[in-house]
Amino acid sequence: MTTITMTTSSSPPRQRKLLLAVDAPSLLHRNHHARAHTRLADRSGRPAWALHGMLRQIIESIDSFAPDAVIFGLDDRAASLRRDFYPDYKAGRAEKDDQLVDQLDRAGSLLDALGLATLTPPGLEADDVNASAATWAEENDWNCVIITSDRDAFAHISDHTSILRLIDGGINGSPLLTPSRLRIMYGVAAENYLEYAALRGDASDNLPGVTGIGEKSASALLSHMGSMQAAWADIEHNNGDALLAAFDSWAEETGARRIGASLLKRLTADGARERFEFNVRIMSGRTDLDLGLTPDIPGTPGLLPLDIERVERVVGHLNMEATTALALRVLTGDPASIGR
């Protein structure tokens, strides 16, 4: 695809080329729960509502963003390095429905059959692919849009990378999160989101936060100290005097309650720093994965357009004529598909 300036209701102007990184398991989970009532089956009679919903949203995203390359991250469902390190990782989540498991297992082969690029990193997750995609985009001077419903990906937001966070309402009803929009939502700079999340914890992954530190206090702490590296250094070398002074000054200027002493007490409690650093380790995405993208070689996986016959055969197997027509128009660039 050619590099052009693009302005749509869902995306900012751009001059760089664009990589679309898709968190496939996240989309499959959302679509399984949203579409299970349809009982849609493919032509072989197997459940296909989650696969169809995921693919439909992907096609709509490609139509909206006009990316130059697309990469799909998948979870290694057989092994987990994070669970090896922390056996209680994601403990407490409900058991997956067998029909969802079936569609999760088939997603990679479906996308590969289309000629799209997928990556299932051994022992890792789709979020690691997202992290590596954001890094790849910055290193190659591309833009990146990550499509996910998982807020863990917010840690990858930068001047190069935005997050389309899927919520109710689908692609067109979902927010595109940039550094400025993230700051409005959470009161933290994009580069501090990982530290913010580590302080707060993540119940969905069974990761408790630092005791006594919630979203508001985590945001305030990072806003006043700039980073947790600065906060820990102040505590270690200066008994937290700079932290106390910053919060006392803020309280005097705004009339807010003085919370510096209580924050300092919580940060210096036994195990507080260890909990923070443990969470950072678990939450950090791998940034060094080989995505296998070769944008200088036309026709390689991940690049658009796709082969017409493959799209018609693979999408057609999902047994939704309207989606097949949309896929042919968007994914192949075939003029004859317009209006089908």
User: What backbone torsions phi and psi does residue 175 show, to the nearest 5 degrees?
Assistant: -80, 145
**Residue 14: predicted pLDDT:** 55
pLDDT profile of the chain (340 residues), mean per 10: 36 77 97 96 97 96 95 97 97 94 97 96 98 98 96 96 88 92 95 98 96 95 96 98 96 91 97 98 97 92 94 96 96 67
Measured CA to CA, the distance from residue 279 to residue 144 in angstroms comes to 26
Contact 144, 137 (CB under 8 A): yes
**Residue 15: predicted pLDDT:** 83
Tens of pLDDT along 181-196?
999 999 999 999 999 9
Measured CA to CA, the distance from residue 62 to residue 304 in angstroms comes to 10
Tens of pLDDT along 23-74?
999 999 999 999 999 999 999 999 999 999 999 999 999 999 999 999 999 9
* 191-283 and 18-185+286-337 share a CATH fold: no
For domain 18-185+286-337, the CATH class is alpha beta
The dihedral formed by the CA atoms of 57, 61, 63 and 66, expressed in degrees to the nearest 10: -150
**Residue 2: predicted pLDDT:** 31
Query: What is the CATH superfamily name and number for domain 191-283?
Result: 5' to 3' exonuclease, C-terminal subdomain (1.10.150.20)
By C-alpha distance, which of 100, 176, 187 is closest to 145? 176
**Residue 335: predicted pLDDT:** 59
Please give the sequence-ordered ranges of beta strands (E in DSSP) within 137-177, or none if there are none: 143-148, 161-165, 176-177
- Adjacent-strand bridge partners of 47: 41
Q: Which long-range contacts (CB under 8 A, 24 or more apart) does 307-315 make?
A: 307/115, 307/332, 308/332, 308/334, 308/337, 310/113, 310/114, 310/115, 311/114, 314/110, 314/113, 314/114, 315/55, 315/114
**Residue 337: predicted pLDDT:** 57
CA distances from 319 to 34, 38, 48, 202, 310 (A): 18, 13, 9, 38, 15
Measured CA to CA, the distance from residue 5 to residue 15 in angstroms comes to 5
Q: Residue 23 in 3-state DSSP?
A: strand
User: pTM of the prediction?
Assistant: 0.91
**Residue 156: predicted pLDDT:** 97
Burial state string for 74-99 with b = 16 or more CB within 10 A and e = fewer than 16: bbeeeebbbeeebeeeeeeeeeeeeb
What residue spans define the domains of the chain? 18-185+286-337, 191-283
- Adjacent-strand bridge partners of 203: none
Q: Residues 6 or more apart from 148 whose CB is under 8 A from it? A: 22, 23, 26, 27, 126, 127, 130, 163, 164, 165, 166
